């Protein structure tokens, strides 16, 4: 039986925290337009842009906060911002206040930066070198159970309403309750000094530094060739969410079908993370060999999936704008499918499997990013900085993706000029997405083939005594 001080036990608890908070967020986001009707897609895009901008800069400095304040406080405060965020969408259904939605999005950007930096540091820094894939797969599976079960909420509540345009009040309240529970679970996490591996070693080497020194360490990552090479992979790792969740799922399916798609999207991530994590930890191969084979396998799956995506894109996209009741040009919903899993079962099967493999490829893409960063350090402090840098770059991509989607080449051109002059039937959006994804793969090659070694040697070895470490961690906790 696992002790609470075992790194695996801590990662499992972390998985349940993320199951409840970002897991529920993913369930809501995955239905397209955050549970709002397709006509309110601009609200979701504005919220997503505000969230991504603040998330990016919060993440950049979250690594320094982690090393100063510890992970538990960051996780509790970060988790509570998810509750407020969902509440703003619930309020929008009654008061149509986009200002409240944007403010809540900015606050979530701060909190999510803290939460994901703490998560990345723990997940990359706690495992032994030969178990980083295993730890990722267990965390990712638990976390994505949130996306699976989170979609059961709207699916169950609205199953008999095939014409519903958005999530119900009960769905939003259900998300908020689960997120609140997740925030409070954070109190079960131990200070890092009390987490001990099976061989008796502590999981972290603490180098005490001032806030100024921490900031210098963060900015030093911009001169690390390994991080710079991975920028395209980090940048594109959230970019495709805008296309998949909105252009594909929200615009082409009924609400109950969107929930079903989203549920299986996250279920696919569970299966893929377990399989790919095991692949990346195969003891028969050296770690450099696993890095190379893993990247080759990832490239193959991505190519097959996105070819299918391009084929499906040819069947929908803005073609003929229409005037709304206010005399403004808007995209014509008739240019898109409105597939229902019950009423259009035969038409649904192909897109269903495509969306399932979008989930598979996402788990592999993000999993490989984490595994690769974990292969570059065993130091939890440095892992926190890596995670912050990763989320910073990732969310810059999240800022720009909606800009492309609402432009004349996107699937959701904004009302007015862009809707009237839409061109390419949305094909431009998916082409940009695919190009960015494979630029990410290309950038990962020199890191996988040159930087990954069988054993990571940290710079410096200034490890403090266990008494000093425990005292410092008790203060942070």
Residue 465 has pLDDT above 50, yes or no: no
Confidence of residue 318 (pLDDT cuts 50, 70, 90): very high
pLDDT at residue number 112: 93
Residue 89 has pLDDT above 80, yes or no: yes
Q: What is the pLDDT of residues 362-380, one digit of tens each?
A: 999 999 999 999 999 888 7
Q: What is the DSSP letter of 166?
A: S
How many Cβ atoms are within 10 Å of 356's Cβ, its own excluded?
18
Contact (CB, 8 A) for 100 and 92: yes
How many Å apart are CA 316 and CA 272, to the nearest integer?
28
Q: Which two tokens stand for residue 429?
A: 């959006």
State pTM to two decimals: 0.83
Confidence of residue 125 (pLDDT cuts 50, 70, 90): confident
Q: What are the backbone dihedrals phi and psi of residue 333, each rounded to the nearest 5 degrees, phi first? A: -65, -20
Question: Whose CA is closest to 116, among 379, 383, 345, 431?
Answer: 383
Q: What is the pLDDT of residues 13-32, one digit of tens each?
A: 999 999 999 988 887 776 55
**Which position has the token pair 């499918």?**
337
Confidence of residue 474 (pLDDT cuts 50, 70, 90): very low
Q: What is the pLDDT of residues 376-418, one digit of tens each?
A: 988 878 888 898 899 999 989 988 998 999 999 999 998 899 9
Confidence of residue 476 (pLDDT cuts 50, 70, 90): very low
Contact (CB, 8 A) for 44 and 30: no
Residue 140 has pLDDT above 50, yes or no: yes
How many Cβ atoms are within 10 Å of 375's Cβ, its own excluded?
24
How many Å apart are CA 457 and CA 468, to the nearest integer?
23
SS3 329: strand
Q: What are the backbone dihedrals phi and psi of residue 323, each rounded to the nearest 5 degrees, phi first? A: -85, 130
Q: Which helix (H) or strand (E) holds 322?
A: strand 322-323
Question: Whose CA is closest to 47, among 397, 399, 430?
Answer: 399
Alpha carbons within 13 A on the beta-carbon side of 317: 23
pLDDT at residue number 208: 44
Distances (CA, A) of 220 to 371, 395, 417: 21, 20, 43
Using alpha carbons only, how large is the chain's radius of gyration in Å? 22
Residue 336 has pLDDT above 60, yes or no: yes
Higher pLDDT, 61 or 186: 186
Lowest mean pLDDT, pick from 168-177, 182-191, 269-278, 414-423? 168-177
**Averaged pLDDT, 354-363:** 97
Q: What is the pLDDT of residues 45-58, one digit of tens each?
A: 778 788 888 998 89
Contact (CB, 8 A) for 121 and 94: no
Share of the chain above pLDDT 90, in %: 57
pLDDT at residue number 235: 96
Average pLDDT over the chain, rounded to whole? 86
């Amino acid at each position: 039986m696992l002790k609470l001080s075992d790194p695996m036990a801590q990662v499992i608890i972390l998985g349940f925290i993320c199951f409840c908070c970002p897991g529920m967020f993913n369930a809501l986001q995955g239905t397209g337009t955050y549970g709002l009707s397709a006509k309110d897609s601009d609200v979701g895009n504005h919220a997503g842009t505000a969230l991504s901008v603040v998330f990016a800069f919060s993440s950049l400095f979250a690594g320094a906060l982690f090393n100063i304040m510890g992970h538990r406080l960051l996780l509790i405060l970060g988790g509570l911002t998810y509750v407020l965020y969902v509440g703003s969408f619930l309020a929008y259904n009654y008061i149509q206040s986009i200002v409240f939605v944007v403010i809540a999005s900015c606050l979530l950007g701060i909190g999510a930066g803290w939460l994901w930096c703490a998560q990345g540091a723990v997940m990359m820094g706690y495992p032994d070198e030969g178990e980083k894939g295993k730890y990722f797969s267990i965390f990712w599976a638990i976390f994505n159970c949130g996306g699976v079960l989170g979609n059961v909420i709207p699916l169950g509540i609205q199953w008999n309403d095939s014409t519903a345009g958005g999530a119900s009040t009960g769905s939003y309240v259900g998300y908020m309750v689960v997120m609140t529970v997740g925030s409070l679970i954070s109190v079960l996490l131990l200070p890092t000094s009390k987490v001990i591996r099976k061989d008796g070693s502590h999981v972290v080497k603490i180098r005490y530094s001032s806030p100024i020194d921490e900031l210098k360490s963060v900015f030093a990552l911009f001169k690390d060739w390994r991080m710079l090479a991975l920028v395209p992979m980090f940048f594109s790792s959230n970019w495709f969410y805008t296309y998949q969740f909105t252009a594909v799922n929200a615009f082409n399916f009924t609400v109950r079908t969107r929930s079903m798609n989203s549920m299986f999207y996250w279920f696919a991530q569970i299966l893929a993370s377990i399989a790919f994590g095991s692949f990346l930890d195969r003891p028969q191969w050296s770690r450099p060999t696993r890095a190379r084979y893993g990247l080759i396998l990832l490239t193959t799956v991505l190519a097959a999936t996105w070819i299918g995506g391009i084929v499906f894109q040819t069947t929908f996209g803005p073609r003929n704008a229409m005037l709304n009741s206010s005399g403004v040009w808007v995209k014509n919903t008739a240019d898109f499918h409105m597939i229902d899993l019950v009423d259009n079962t035969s038409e649904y099967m192909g897109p269903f499997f495509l969306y399932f493999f979008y989930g598979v490829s996402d788990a592999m893409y993000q999993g490989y990013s984490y595994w690769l960063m974990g292969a570059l350090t065993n130091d939890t402090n440095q892992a926190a900085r890596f995670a912050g840098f990763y989320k910073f770059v990732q969310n810059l991509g999240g800022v720009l993706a909606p800009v492309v989607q609402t432009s004349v080449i996107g699937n959701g051109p904004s009302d007015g000029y862009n809707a009237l002059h839409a061109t390419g039937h949305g094909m431009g959006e998916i082409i940009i997405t695919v190009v960015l994804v494979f630029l990410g793969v290309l950038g990962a090659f020199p890191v996988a083939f040159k930087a990954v070694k069988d054993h990571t040697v940290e710079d410096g070895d200034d490890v403090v005594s266990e008494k000093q470490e425990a005292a410092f961690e008790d203060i942070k906790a």
